[in-house]
Structure 1
Amino acid sequence: MKKSIVALAVLGSFAGVAAAQSSVTLFGVVDAAMRYTSANGKSVYSLASGGNTTSRFGVRGVEDLGGGLKAGFWLESQVNLDAGSADATRFWSRRATVSLISDTMGEVRLGRFKTSVRLQIEDFDPTATTGLGATTNLYSALGSGVDMSRRDNQVSYSLPGNLGGFYGSVDVAAGEGSSAINKDVGGRVGYKAGAFNVGAAYSESGVSTKFKLMSLGGSYDMGFMKAFATYSTTEFGAHSQDIYNLSVTAPIGAGLVWAGYTAADYSGPKVGSISGDSSQIAAGYVHNLSKRTALYTSVSYIDNKAGANFSLNGNNPAVNKDGRSGGFDVGVKHSF
């Protein structure tokens, strides 16, 4: 009897070690907003998914391999909360990666994920490029067909977090013969210490005529207010665009108020929808009911000139050239 008890205790200790070395987490966000948008004298009332944070569902895990080395995976799917649907063409549309992670050497990641330059833009946007007030509402791919957010077939490397505030990453994506524009190379470098953060990123996509995206950003947290500034430029053939953004956030009690102004200036021939200048002014408030649940509201207004037709809410309602698009929403977000 005593031997059995000892054996069970030994097995239990090994099980405890195994559990400590490996973990799998189910996570997600459910976010929906009641939204009103208008353009060209038309109005649309809708229920929008991801008004503050993209609704998502995922599973991720890490295994400790010993010696400061870990293996990790991350699978994440977008959820359209208004219709209960996922991406129509791919299930793990937001992220599908496997990684080797070293405490001292950094992380090597393989799969589908955001590019370094997209992470750069998100870090200096109070909305993290989500919702009515996202700065990326005015970014244009200039007719290239490039996805400015994520890449398939990507291999990336990120610096470790022990470099005294310096951070960075590089990524390469293979076209795999499907489309030359899917070939991509990019990188990011920055420095963050205390209240100060500054970074720069650049990427090139394609083979012959390349789509180029560069972004510079900085932020400073003064306690009562945090200020952001971003300058980005896109280029494809004879077409180019310069995007400027100034934003602020300020804590108010259990919440956070934010506001931002974005301007996009186009240069090049006026061809189809690839033309024109635009500006956007946006603001919002997020009220935290708990660490995982928040109420929010946001308002945004886009003014187009010189033939541009940028819009809100997925171009619903559609915006004519030189038109205006405005809207506001009220929603709730819950993380798990």
Structure 2
Amino acid sequence: MKRLLTVSLTMGLAAAANAQSSVTLYGIVDNGLQYETGFAHGNRVSAESGNWGESRFGLKGKEDIGAGTSVNFTLESRLNTQNGSVANGSLFEGQATVGMSNDAYGSFRLGNFGASALLQYAGVLDPQQTQKYSFGTLVRGRMFPQTANGIEYKTPSFGGFTVQAQYNLTNSTTWNAGNPGTAPGQLGTSTGLGSSQGRSDGVKLEYNAHQLDLQAIYDEIRDGNGKFSNVYLASRSIFAAGSYIWGPVTVYAGYQHLSAPDASDAGYFGTSTPTALPAGVGLPTAVDSGWVGAQWAVTPATYVTGAIYHANANKGNGNATMYTLSGQYLLSKRTRLYSEVGYLHNSSTSNLGLNGGLYGANVNNDPVNGNPSSTNPNYGHGQFGVFAGIATQF
């Protein structure tokens, strides 16, 4: 028995010695200054973290176990580097996953997908590359869902085509619902990161070859009761976009449709006749948004990007259009200076803001129900913003 144990241990150590493994520390530190107009109580000058790319640090590990197969893990934290806090109070909110990959069979992962939730892969098809004023602004952040308790599979590339799918369990005894669920009348405050969330899933089809990148994504996120109750938080999303590289210029175009058939005024506001909204306006059940833009590599170190984004919500919520212009100068392979200017125009019943913001009125519109700290403009008003900063990657 001792001899068998010794042989087994020796073989195990030999296999471990032959396996190639590595661990990499990586991250972004991004800080800047910002000026924005159109808040309910005036204009604001602020110091901000993550206007170009959210500050973060993480660990990536890879172990080659032979036959073209490797084991991989990622642990990533998101940070506010202006005050040193961890985003959303969770140490590995960015992601915490482990999985395996093989060039012939594809890859799978298990864990908290966080900032790598399926729809967030679409950021490469945003002209502004998910800077602060980008394709997530007019859908109040719905382009950046957060999902946990999940499993993902991605196929190998077949002539430039890949398929990627995620399924995120609720860990609840009730199908679709979160754990715990929430009572009716609380859906407006119970969905979103850090609260009860039901089942989420999605699939992404991509073609990437010959300067052309095309993506089609379907994903859905349910609230704690398993419903599609808020078009900006718990909803279905259909996304299609593409980019094409033409010499020093890359052009972009995209479209997203959001639907939340279970959304209701009573479920969100606690009453079927909310005073927080303009007359004739109800909680939207559908939003359509689209964008076009182009990036020009003026020199190998200098980039200029312009883009227009538009969104239209039903139930009388009107529409908004955002115009953006940005520039970047690469000081090195790791460090860049950046700036972006944005102007957002709202129709008379829209109050979308450059900061995304929650649905509903400002304190100026509704002193009883309005949010005094809201960064949304008042209904029918626009916002102008500009920021600049420095970001370094490691």
Change (3 A) 1:147 1:301: closer
Aligned to 1:221: 245
Instruction: Compare 279-288 and 40-49 and name the one that shifted more.
Output: 40-49
**Counterpart of 1:279?**
321
Partner of 1:154: 150
Query: d(CA) in 1 for partners of 2:146 and 2:375?
Result: 26
Aligned partners of 2:138 and 2:356 also within 8 Å: no
Q: Is the 8 A contact 2:206 2:216 kept in 1?
A: yes
Contact 1:69 1:101 in 2 (8 A): yes
Match among 293, 313, 338 for residue 266 of structure 1: 313
1:189 paired residue among 205, 225, 228: 205
Asked if 1 retains the 8 angstrom alpha-carbon contact of 2:149 and 2:168, the reply is: yes
Q: 1:140 to 1:36 in 2, by over 3 A?
A: closer
Letter in 1 for 2:62: V
How far residue 112 of structure 1 moved from its aligned partner, in angstroms, is: 1.4
Q: Give TM-score scaled by structure 2 length.
A: 0.74
Change (3 A) 1:103 1:164: same
In structure 2, relative to structure 1, the CA distance for the partners of 1:116 and 1:314 (3 Å cut) is: closer
Read off the aligned partner of 1:129 and give its amino acid letter: T
Q: Which residue of 2 aligns with 1:119?
A: 121
Runs of 4 or more consecutive aligned structure 1 residues displaced over 6 Å after TM superposition = none
RMSD between aligned alpha carbons? Answer: 2.2
Alignment-derived partner of residue 137 in structure 2 = 137
Q: Displacement of 1:20 after TM fit?
A: 6.8
Deviation at 1:204, TM superposition (A): 2.1
CA contact (8 A) 2:78 2:92 kept: yes
Secondary structure of 2:137 counterpart:
helix
CA contact (8 A) 1:255 1:286 kept: yes
Counterpart of 1:289 in structure 2 is 331
| CA distance in structure 2 between the partners assigned to 1:19 and 1:299 by the alignment | 53
Displacement, 1:307? 1.8
Deviation at 1:148, TM superposition (A): 4.4
Q: Larger % of strand: which?
A: 1
TM-superposed deviation, 1:321: 1.5
Deviates more, 1:174-183 or 1:86-95: 174-183
Which residue identity does 1:124 align to in structure 2? L
Instruction: Write out per-residue CA displacement over residues 25-74 of structure 1, whole angstroms, 9 at most, x where no aligned residue.
Output: 01111011111111157111111101111110111100001001111110
Q: How does 1:63-82 map to 2 (within 5 A)?
A: 63-82=63-82
Aligned counterparts of 1:126 and 1:333: Cα–Cα separation in 2: 19
Amino acid of the residue matched to residue 73 of structure 2?
Answer: F
Residue-by-residue CA offset, 1:190-223 (whole Å, 9 max, x unaligned): 1111211111000122334472101000111101
Residue of structure 2 equivalent to 1:90: 90
Q: Encode CA deviations 1:225-258: one digit per residue, 9 max, x unaligned.
A: 1100001000001610100100100001211110
> Is residue 2:382 matched to residue 1:324?
yes
Deviation of residue 317 (structure 1)?
Answer: 4.0
Contact 2:352 2:376 survives alignment (8 Å): no
Change (3 A) 1:138 1:97: same
Report the Cα distance in structure 2 between the residues aligned to 1:265 and 1:318, rounded to whole angstroms: 17
Structure 1 residue corresponding to 2:340, chosen from 298, 313, 316: 298
Q: Are positions 1:23 and 2:22 aligned together?
A: yes
Moved more, 225-234 or 203-212: 203-212
> What's the offset of the Cα at 1:18?
4.1
CA shift for structure 1 position 311: 1.2
User: 1-side partners of 2:88 and 2:97: how far apart?
Assistant: 20
Offset at residue 127 of structure 1 (A) = 2.8
Q: Which residue of 2 aligns with 1:168?
A: 163
Unaligned runs of 5+ in 1: 1-13
**Which residue of structure 2 aligns with residue 5 of structure 1?**
none
Aligned residues: 310
- For structure 2, the 5+ residue unaligned runs are 1-12, 173-178, 182-195, 229-233, 264-284, 358-373
Hey, what's the Cα distance between the residues in 2 that align with 1:327 and 1:18? 55
Instruction: Report the identity percentage.
Output: 28
Q: Distance in 1 between matches of 2:350 and 2:18?
A: 56
Indicate the SS of the match to 1:152.
coil
